[in-house]
């Protein structure tokens, strides 16, 4: 009986480990990576990203009403993962984001994160550091614009 129990435990351990054929699966997207998700920098515009925004007009001065709304959205939807400094929390810190990226890129990323992560080599490198994909928060165009204005204030625009 002891040998049978030992054999069953050994068999269970052996079969539970299994083969590691799927070690390259990308579980951040819920399954295996597909060729459609592979980065193709030749078709990606690093200045505007992927999405409907090809031009975003910003004023010389901040729109305080947009900043106020953006701060509210940031505190509910963004602050759990992003600090307002350059420190990483779950995701990267926001400090300096408006100097590193054009407004079109930021708006497209906020409203369309999945295709951008799939195509942008810098976002893919960031994903390797953070190990968590930015979720699609289903933010509206207005929400995204409010967040952008709040990011501008966070970066020192007055």
Q: Is 50 exceeded by the pLDDT of residue 21? A: no
3-state DSSP assignment of residue 156: coil
Handedness of CA 127, 106, 92, 74 (dihedral sign): negative
- pLDDT of 44 reads 84
pLDDT band at 1 (very low <50, low <70, confident <90, very high): low
**pLDDT per position as a tens digit, 99-150:** 999 999 999 999 999 999 999 999 999 999 999 999 999 999 999 999 999 9
Superfamily classification of domain 65-158: Cytochrome c-like domain (1.10.760.10)
**pLDDT per position as a tens digit, 33-71:** 222 333 444 568 999 999 999 999 999 999 999 999 999
**Separation CA 127–CA 110 (nearest Å):** 15
Q: Is 90 exceeded by the pLDDT of residue 9? A: no
Cβ neighbours around 135 below 10 Å, total: 11
- pLDDT of 4 reads 43
Question: Which residue matches tokens 């940031």?
Answer: 74
**Separation CA 104–CA 91 (nearest Å):** 20
Q: Do 107 and 53 touch, CB atoms closer than 8 A?
A: yes
Q: Do 28 and 127 touch, CB atoms closer than 8 A?
A: yes
Q: What are the residue boundaries of the structural domains of the chain, listed by start?
A: 65-158
Q: For residue 156, what are the CA distances in angstroms to 26, 83, 94, 110? A: 37, 15, 12, 20
């Amino acid at each position: 009986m002891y040998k049978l129990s030992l054999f069953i435990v050994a068999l269970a351990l052996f079969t539970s480990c299994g083969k590691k054929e799927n070690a390259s699966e990308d579980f951040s997207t819920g399954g295996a990576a597909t060729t459609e998700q592979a980065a193709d920098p030749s078709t990606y515009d690093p200045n505007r990203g992927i999405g409907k925004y090809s031009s975003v007009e910003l004023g010389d001065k901040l729109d305080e009403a947009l900043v106020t709304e953006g701060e509210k959205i940031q505190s509910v939807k963004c602050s759990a993962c992003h600090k307002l400094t350059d420190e990483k929390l779950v995701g990267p810190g926001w400090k300096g984001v408006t100097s590193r990226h054009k407004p079109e890129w930021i708006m497209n990323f906020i409203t369309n994160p999945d295709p951008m992560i799939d195509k942008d080599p810098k976002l893919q490198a960031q994903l390797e550091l953070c190990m968590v994909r930015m979720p699609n928060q289903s933010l509206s165009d207005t929400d995204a614009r409010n967040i952008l204005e709040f990011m501008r204030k966070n970066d020192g625009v007055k």
